[in-house]
């Protein structure tokens, strides 16, 4: 039965986000409802070629579901019809995606089982506003539309009759009062402090900015951030540089002497900027005629604890428009005003406070306005005396002081946060989930309580930690069930943001608090041992360590360790617990117990000690201290000694050698020294018959993975096949698929392996991601581009949003699309490749090496699109990206490829836009040849060298330097002959192109280049060449075909 194609919801959302939109769930639902009333397109897209494999055995599989509109197969368009009316529950939009399971046909992945519900698509739900009464706030700001500063000259402005009458009556003589003439609306700027606790008020500042914009009172609204430099005045952000980092400049550059710009400083007044007095100094130096106020988000009861306490009182409006207002405190109503002191209005983020502030600047006639103000004392004439350092308070005293002054909501929040890793997103998540009746104010109280310690190290958000004593005291007030629920929310955060890049320690701790054993539930046993001891891939930094260390502390608090009398048994128990929780304290205790057992059990204790040091090398503390390589080397030495002491062929001998291989593999990953892989294989070199039977599956699996790391696909496939004969696992089957791909095995050998792996995947996201990526690679190998795109799409849905893992996967997908776009025709596949590569660039972090490669590929795909569609702006952007890549790239082979692409772009600019000269393209082609020769020589040379020489000859011919062109083209022809002589796969169209151009240059008579038409010049110019992934052409020695 025919099914009308509908784009999956996740594809629609992905495209909207890639285009810069970030729709809410309600916006998506409205758009989908509206789309059903739009007419269908009149002309369907042309059908692509049918798939290469036979689809006669497919049953009830819609071929167009989940595909890109540019690549799907469509039936002829039907007459547009009005969709039927929907009633009841059918008007809702499903938020569950299609199942990630592969289709049930044999060519696409094995037998199908029951239908599984796919993963839920995350959507943004509206949260509570940080500012109460946004509409009231807009209404309160609206009167400022009529604000105007005092006239700069006495004769400016219009006569204010009412104020003139009042002034004249009071003075006894006629005294005119002039009002500023009506003009443009004022501006407003928000200066947000970047103190330790100000991150919780980001949303409030954004809502305040929106209120200012939507009030209609201001012509321009700007937001700047105040940064503390440690000395001198604060700096503010303005624009961003080419690297995306904000540019800083002195805050006094934001002064407005005309008085037409309001300034609101948003701060809690407790950060280092206020403690050292720099913020007070810059407020004191602010121009008197430029309206200024401080927005204090903390409640008034906490203001006395800040560095700028405020007092209630009365503001006396100036008798002239735009003049400064005088303030009289309620505490000292009859005190003589000190002219050296300045009063700064302090506003709570409420409509009432902003309405009073607006009346202060829009009324006339010297009326009074109630409000709060902070006094700025004059600059001290002598340096302040150094303060006596306070004696640090103990944990109990700190907690007692916090409980005495904190609000009930802040106290409950502090207790719940004791069971969570204290990164800002997790703190806000726990607050929303466990204490929805609290808000940013309570969270700020916790951050300012003095109980938290800011952790050093690079992290996208601020990371904090309770001192162990404070954490234990707070956990004493938290029920174990509530602690387990907090950890459950943390585990969901880990899975959503980190994916499989980090072990989910909060989930393990939550399961154990609930009375479950995750290892037993997962069926851990001897068959799982090989995968468990593989080198982990873990995020580094303070944030990753928090997610391992804090759940371990919580678990130890509710389940204290039981000390085992036998030191070796205790060492093994502590090792397993420390590895499960990634707790350096547990691993250190395990090492001490293992060293105690050395005299009584020298072999077994050394094996355990080597495993402990290997586990310690994987902790974040060891990585940051630079001790990872040292610990791994010590572990390898200990395991070598253990194997020498053990009896050949027994269990301890086998365990020592297997663990030593793992350690050397980790050292290879750390140092990239191939000798470490050789040492690992040497440790496993004994014949399999001499190994204990229980260790043989692990032996073959370790050998296969080491050979795979070394690049020996055929030998790795042989070892992995032997391991699978003794017991199958999804991870081993996926390793075998990688080995077969590396060995260039045919799809008929890879597809059955992936079918077997699919049945064993389970719900593990990492294995499903590997399987989907391998499927995409297989479909690309058989020429099924739409199926490859669908597999890549499913794989991206298994990665964390906006993480490096997703960026690398999108980069692989973009490269696949670029290869297929280069081999095909039209601009639609090129557009898809550009979209995926740009999304990859947004996901990759700033320091990732893959970012430069992504920029190069985007520049290449833009050049290809110009070649197909002739859109000139693509050429300019391509030149910019390739220029940037050259400045950042150091590898000569990569630079050669970039020079070759850049030369083509410059040549096209000189021809199509007359922007630049051919000499620039000629220089780029020459540098491409020079960089290639510097690395690979010219005997036999490389395809890149031959292409660069051909491009030089074409450019010289177009410049009418025929003699030089003939010489270079002869060199290019010689390069093609050498490559063909050593059986390097080359594109014969390139060879024929060089021969034809060489014959034309040497012809007599020949046409003059200055008389060439545009079509003739395009024929002579070199073609656009696809980016080559490494220039490692391999010799065709009996079947190993090179890549062209």
DSSP per position, 557-583: HHSPPPPPSSHHHHHHHHHHHHHHHT-
Per-residue pLDDT at 622 exceeds 50:
yes
pLDDT digits (tens, 9 = 90+) for 170-183: 888 888 877 665 56
Give 712-744 pLDDT, tens digit per residue: 999 999 999 999 999 889 999 999 999 999 998
- CATH fold of 548-781 reads 1.25.40
Across 888-907, average pLDDT:
89
Q: Is residue 402 very low, low, confident or very high in pLDDT (cuts 50, 70, 90)?
A: confident
Q: What value does the mean pLDDT take over residues 286-292?
A: 84
Does residue 25 have a pLDDT over 60?
yes
The pLDDT, as a whole number, for residue 724 is 92
The helix/strand/coil state of 189 is strand
Q: Which pLDDT band, with edges at 50, 70 and 90, does 882 fall under? A: very high
Q: Which residue has the higher pLDDT, 31 or 157?
A: 31
Residues of the chain above pLDDT 70, percent: 75
Give the pair of three-digit tokens for residue 4. 């009308």
Half-sphere exposure of 68 (CA within 13 A, CB side): 24
**Model pLDDT, residue 46:** 43
Mean per-residue pLDDT for 903-930? 86
What pLDDT, on a 0 to 100 scale, did the predictor assign at position 984? 83
Q: Are 1002 and 966 in contact (CB under 8 A)?
A: yes
Rounded-to-integer distance, Cα 942 and Cα 1033, Å: 8
Residue 927 pLDDT level (bands cut at 50, 70, 90):
very high
Look at residue 529 and tell me whether its pLDDT is greater than 50. Answer: no
- The SS3 assignment for 813 reads helix
Among the ranges 910-919, 983-992, 1022-1031, which has the highest mean pLDDT value? 983-992
Check residue 535 and give its pLDDT.
42
Q: What is the pLDDT of residues 774-807, one digit of tens each?
A: 999 999 989 899 999 999 999 998 888 777 888 9
* pLDDT value of residue 65: 38
Mean pLDDT over residues 640-647, rounded?
Answer: 90
> 725: exposed, middle or buried (C-beta count within 10 Å: 0-12, 13-18, 19+)?
exposed
Confidence of residue 391 (pLDDT cuts 50, 70, 90): low
CA distance 9 to 13: 6
In this structure, of 552-566, 663-677, 824-838, 1022-1036, the range with the lowest mean pLDDT score is 1022-1036
The answer to which of 639-643, 658-662, 1037-1041 has the lowest mean pLDDT is 1037-1041
Strands 246-250 and 187-193, sheet pairing? unpaired
> Is residue 867 classed exposed, middle or buried when 0-12, 13-18 and 19+ CB atoms within 10 A define those classes?
middle
Across 248-252, 521-525, 664-668, which has the greatest mean pLDDT? 664-668
CA distance 994 to 943: 13
What are the pLDDT digits (tens) for 336-353? 667 778 889 999 888 899
542 pLDDT above the threshold of 80: no
**CA-to-CA distance for 483 and 491, rounded, in angstroms?**
12
pLDDT of 628 above 60: yes
Per-residue pLDDT band at 857 (split at 50, 70, 90): very high
Least confident range of 211-220, 605-614, 701-710, 1002-1011: 1002-1011
Per-residue pLDDT at 290: 85
Count CB neighbours of 79 within 10 A: 5
How far the first Cα of the chain sits from its last, in Å, is: 43
Averaged pLDDT, 886-900: 88
Q: Where are the beta strands (DSSP E) in 201-243?
A: 221-227, 235-240
Mean pLDDT, rounded, for 830-839: 91
Task: Report the distance separating Cα 777 and Cα 760, nearest Å.
Answer: 20
Between residues 786 and 498, which one has the greater pLDDT? Answer: 786
Q: Which of 845, 742, 865, 767 is nearest to 802 (CA)?
A: 845
Reported as a pLDDT band with limits 50, 70 and 90, residue 520 is: very low
Of residues 311 and 131, more confidently modeled: 311
Cα distance between residue 66 and residue 692, in whole Å: 50
Checking if the pLDDT of 912 tops 50, the result is yes
pLDDT tens, residue by residue, 209-249: 999 988 888 989 999 988 887 777 888 876 544 444 567 78
Characterise 72 by phi-psi region: left (phi > 0), alpha (psi -120 to 50), beta (else).
beta
Give 419-444 pLDDT, tens digit per residue: 888 887 888 888 888 888 887 778 88
Kindly state the percentage of the chain with pLDDT values over 90.
Answer: 22
pLDDT at 813 over 60: yes
> Is pLDDT above 50 for 91?
no
pLDDT winner (highest mean) among 56-60, 263-267, 451-455: 263-267
Residue 85: band (very low, low, confident or very high) from pLDDT cuts 50, 70, 90: very low
Say which range, 601-605, 826-830, 927-931, has the weakest mean pLDDT. 826-830
Q: What is the pLDDT of residue 834?
A: 92
Radius of gyration of the chain (CA): 35
**Which residue is it, tokens 């049930």?**
104
Per-residue pLDDT at 637: 93
**Sequence spans of domains, the chain:** 134-151+158-376, 401-513, 548-781, 890-1020
Give the integer Cα–Cα distance in Å for 921 and 902. 7
* pLDDT score, position 183: 60
* Averaged confidence pLDDT in the chain: 77
d(CA 830, CA 858) in angstroms, rounded, equals 10
The pLDDT assigned to 289 comes to 79
* Distance, CA of 942 to CA of 894 (rounded, Å): 13
């Amino acid at each position: 039965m025919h099914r009308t194609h509908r784009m999956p919801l996740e594809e629609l959302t992905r495209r909207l986000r890639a285009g810069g939109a970030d729709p809410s769930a309600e916006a998506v639902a409205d758009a989908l409802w509206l789309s059903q009333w739009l007419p269908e397109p009149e002309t369907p897209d042309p059908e692509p070629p049918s798939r290469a494999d036979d689809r006669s055995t497919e049953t009830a599989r819609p071929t167009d579901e989940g595909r890109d509109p540019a690549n799907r197969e469509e039936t002829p368009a039907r007459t547009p019809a009005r969709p039927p009316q929907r009633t009841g529950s059918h008007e809702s939009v499903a938020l569950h995606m299609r199942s990630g399971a592969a289709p049930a046909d044999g060519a696409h992945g094995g037998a199908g089982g029951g239908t599984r519900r796919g993963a839920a698509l995350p959507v943004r739900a509206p949260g509570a506003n940080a500012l109460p009464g946004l509409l009231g706030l807009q209404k309160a700001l609206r009167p400022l539309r009529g604000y105007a500063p005092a006239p700069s000259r006495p004769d400016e402005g219009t006569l204010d009759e009412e104020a003139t009458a009042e002034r004249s009556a009071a003075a006894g003589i006629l005294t005119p009062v002039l009002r500023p003439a009506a003009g443009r609306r004022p501006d407003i700027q928000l200066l947000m402090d970047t103190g330790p606790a100000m991150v919780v008020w980001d949303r409030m500042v954004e809502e305040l900015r929106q209120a200012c914009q939507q009030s209609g009172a201001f012509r321009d609204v700007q937001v700047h951030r105040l940064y503390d430099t440690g000395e001198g005045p604060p700096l503010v952000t303005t624009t961003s540089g080419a690297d995306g980092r904000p540019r800083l400049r002195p805050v006094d550059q934001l002064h407005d002497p005309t008085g037409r710009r309001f300034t609101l400083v948003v701060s809690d007044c407790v950060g280092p900027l206020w403690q050292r007095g720099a913020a007070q100094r810059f407020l004191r130096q602010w121009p008197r005629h430029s309206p200024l106020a401080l927005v204090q988000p903390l409640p008034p009861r906490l203001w006395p604890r800040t560095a700028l306490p405020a007092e209630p009182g009365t503001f006396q409006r100036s008798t002239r428009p735009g003049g400064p207002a005088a303030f009289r405190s309620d505490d000292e109503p009859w005190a003589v005003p000190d002219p050296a002191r300045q009063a700064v209005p302090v506003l709570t983020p409420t409509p009432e406070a902003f309405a009073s502030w607006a009346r202060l600047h829009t009324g006339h006639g010297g009326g009074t306005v109630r409000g709060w103000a902070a006094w700025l004392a004059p600059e001290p004439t002598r340096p302040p005396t150094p303060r006596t350092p306070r004696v640090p308070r103990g944990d109990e005293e700190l907690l007692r002081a916090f409980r005495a002054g904190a609000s009930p909501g802040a106290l409950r929040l502090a207790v719940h946060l004791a069971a969570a890793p204290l990164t800002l997103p997790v703190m806000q998540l726990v607050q929303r989930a466990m204490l929805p009746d609290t808000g940013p104010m309570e969270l700020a109280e916790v951050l300012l309580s003095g109980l938290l310690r800011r952790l050093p190290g690079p992290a996208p958000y601020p990371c904090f930690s309770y001192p162990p004593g404070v954490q234990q005291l707070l956990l004493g007030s938290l029920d174990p069930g509530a602690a387990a629920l907090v950890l459950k929310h943390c585990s969901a955060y880990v899975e959503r943001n980190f994916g499989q890049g980090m072990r989910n320690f909060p989930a393990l701790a939550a399961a154990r608090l609930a009375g479950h054993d995750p290892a037993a539930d997962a069926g851990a046993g001897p068959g799982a041992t090989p995968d468990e001891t593989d080198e982990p891939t873990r995020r580094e930094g303070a944030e990753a360590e928090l997610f391992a260390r804090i759940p371990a502390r919580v678990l130890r608090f509710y389940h204290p360790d039981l000390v085992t009398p036998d030191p070796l048994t205790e060492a093994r128990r502590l090792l397993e617990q420390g590895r499960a929780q990634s707790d350096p304290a547990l691993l250190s205790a395990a090492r001490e117990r293992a060293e105690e057992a050395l005299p009584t059990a020298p072999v077994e204790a050394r094996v355990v000690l080597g495993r402990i040091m290997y586990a310690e090398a994987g902790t974040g503390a060891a990585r940051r201290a630079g001790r990872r390589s040292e610990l791994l080397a010590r572990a390898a030495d200990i395991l070598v000694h253990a194997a020498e002491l053990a009896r050949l062929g027994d269990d301890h001998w086998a365990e020592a050698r297997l663990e030593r291989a793992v350690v050397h593999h980790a050292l290879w990953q750390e140092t990239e020294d191939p000798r470490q892989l050789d040492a690992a294989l040497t440790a496993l070199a004994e014949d399999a018959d001499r190994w204990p039977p229980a260790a043989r599956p692990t032996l073959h699996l370790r050998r296969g993975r080491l050979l795979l790391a070394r690049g020996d696909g055929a030998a790795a496939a042989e070892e992995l096949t032997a391991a699978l004969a003794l017991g199958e696992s999804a991870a081993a089957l996926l390793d075998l698929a990688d080995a077969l791909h590396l060995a260039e095995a045919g799809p008929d050998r890879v597809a059955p392996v992936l079918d077997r792996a699919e049945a064993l995947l389970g719900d593990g996201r990492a294995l499903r991601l590997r399987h989907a990526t391998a499927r995409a690679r297989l479909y690309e190998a058989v020429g099924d581009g739409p199926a490859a795109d669908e597999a890549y799409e499913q794989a991206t849905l298994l990665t964390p949003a906006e993480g490096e893992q997703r960026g690398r996967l999108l980069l692989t997908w973009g490269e696949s699309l670029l290869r297929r776009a280069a081999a095909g025709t039209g601009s639609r596949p090129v557009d898809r490749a550009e979209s995926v590569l740009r999304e990859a660039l947004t996901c990759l972090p700033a320091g990732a090496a893959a970012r430069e490669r992504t920029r190069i590929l985007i520049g290449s795909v833009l050049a290809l699109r110009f070649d197909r569609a002739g859109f000139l702006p693509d050429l300019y952007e391509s030149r910019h990206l390739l220029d940037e890549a050259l400045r950042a790239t150091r590898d000569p082979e990569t630079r050669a490829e970039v020079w070759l692409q850049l030369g083509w772009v410059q040549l096209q600019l000189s021809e199509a836009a007359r922007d630049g000269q051919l000499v620039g393209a000629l220089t780029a082609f020459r540098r491409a040849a020079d960089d290639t020769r510097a690395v690979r020589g010219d005997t036999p040379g490389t395809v890149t060298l031959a292409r660069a020489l051909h491009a030089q000859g074409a450019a010289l011919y177009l410049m009418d330097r025929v003699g030089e062109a003939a010489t270079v083209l002869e060199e290019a022809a010689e390069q093609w002959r050498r490559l063909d002589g050593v059986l390097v796969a080359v594109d014969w169209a390139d060879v024929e192109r060089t021969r034809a151009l060489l014959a034309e240059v040497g012809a007599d008579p020949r046409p003059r280049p200055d008389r060439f038409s545009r079509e003739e010049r395009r024929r002579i110019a070199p073609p656009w060449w696809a980016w080559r992934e490494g220039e490692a052409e391999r010799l065709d020695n009996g079947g190993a075909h090179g890549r062209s």
